[in-house]
Structures are given as C-alpha cells and as structure tokens.
Amino acid sequence: MRHARLLPLPVLAFAAGLASAEPVTYRMDPVHSQVVFNVDHNGFSRSFGRLRIAEGKVVFDRDDWSKSSVEATIDLGSVDMGDPNWDKAVRGSNLLDSARAGTARYVSDAVEKRGDDEGVVHGKLTLRGITLPLDIPFRVNRVGRTIFGMHTVAGFSAYVTLDRTAYGMTANRGSIGSDVAVWLEIEAIRGGEAGSNDDKETHDATAQ
C-alpha cells in the first residue's frame, strides 16, 4: 500500500477501471437495427428484402471479447420485399413458412476477436425448425453515449451468406438463387438505460 500511495491519482483510477472491467448487457433496439437480405432473381437482378428484429441481447466485454455473447429473435412475418403479393409469397410455406414457424432465432456459442474492431460470432441459427451452425463476421462500429447523452449504445455491422436450401427452402430453384446475402446493422442500448422510444430529441435532431 505504501507504493500505491506514490502513484498519481489518474493512474490509480485507470488501474481500478481495469480491475472492475466486466461484460455489459445491451438490448437490441428494433428501431435502429436492420436485417437486410438479397437473392438472385432469374439472373436479371438481386432482389432485396428486409426483416424486423423482434428482440435481442448483446453481452459485450470490450477488454475480453471471449466473455461476450449475442442472441436475437427475428420476426419472419415482417418480411418486406416492397410489394404485398411478393411479401405474401415469401412468407408462404414454400419459403419462410412464417405461419408455421413465425420467428428465426440465433444464439451464439462463442465470440472470437480477429482484429482491433473485427471478430466472428460462432453460433447456431434456427430457421423453419432447422438448427444449423452459423459463423457471422462482424465489426464493432462504436460504443458510446448518444448525441444528447440519454443512453449508451453499442453499434455493430455484420455480413453473412446463407444457403436457403439447407433450411428446407427448396422451391423455385430455377428462378430464385440458393445463396442469400444477409446484412445486419445493430444498435443495442445498455441495460437499465432509457429506450429508443424515449429518445425523441435524437429522432428530431436526425430528421433535421
């Protein structure tokens, strides 16, 4: 303790912060989180769609990523292809089959750090009642307070490719591609802090 008294206070504070570092729980903000996908359409173009994250949780340790985890539930009935008839077809039994299994679920097994801001989530995706391993490369964009300091947000971007036929979506293989490209843009709010519905000032500022 005699040696500790000789250290400057900022150094002692920094050391105390390191000692107390621990995983922080964030809940996914469905307003500012996006699941966007696209798939080949007859070789003419790639058709885009969007899905809503119903709920999700990120546990993130900035000092030790191996202590981190993620889980998310995706509302398959929310699919938006930009056309009501197309939405209905994609929700149907030949494709997402949302009437039978209304959600998809992803749960991590481990989080691996591969760079200063980049890593891979190793986990499993359950879709249409089929559970398969899925590794998702991701990037940490920012962890910090919102513009008005109302809450702390962790932001992530991720990209992965799925084989739809592996999950039983084998219909229309002549016109719809098998490989589906998926982008995830995630904002998650630190637990115990105000949610996005209370962040009216931030929405107003963004709209200006």
- In this predicted model, what pLDDT tens digit does every residue of 156-190 receive, in sequence order? 999 999 999 999 999 998 899 999 999 999 999 99
Supply the pTM of this predicted model.
Answer: 0.82
More confident position, 17 or 78: 78
Residue 206, SS3 per DSSP:
helix
Res 97 pLDDT > 60: yes
| Residues pairing with 119 in the sheet | 113, 138
Residue 158, SS3 per DSSP:
strand
> Which structure tokens are listed for 103?
């959600």
Average pLDDT over residues 137-163: 95
Residue 10, SS3 per DSSP:
helix
> Which structure tokens are listed for 41?
């359409």
Q: What is the bridge-based pairing of β-strands 118-127 and 152-163?
A: unpaired
Q: What is the model's pLDDT at position 6?
A: 40
Res 22 pLDDT > 80: yes
DSSP annotation of 199 reads -
Helices (H), the chain: 2-5, 9-20, 84-91, 200-207
Q: What is the model's pLDDT at position 32?
A: 95
Are the beta carbons of 72 and 56 closer than 8 angstroms? Answer: yes
Share of the chain above pLDDT 70, in %: 82
Triad 162, 183, 119: Cα angle to 5°: 90
d(CA 55, CA 135): 20
Lowest mean pLDDT across 12-21, 77-86, 94-103, 180-189: 12-21
Q: What is the bridge-based pairing of β-strands 69-80 and 118-127?
A: unpaired
CA nearest to 185, candidates 163, 145, 154: 154
Res 208 pLDDT > 60: no
Q: What is the model's pLDDT at position 21?
A: 62
Residues 6+ apart with CB under 8 A from 94: 169, 171, 172
Average pLDDT over residues 54-82: 97
Give whole-number Cα distances, 59 to 69, 149, 154, in Å: 5, 21, 10
Q: Which domains does the chain have, with CATH numbers?
A: 22-207 (2.40.128.110)
Are the beta carbons of 67 and 61 closer than 8 angstroms? Answer: yes
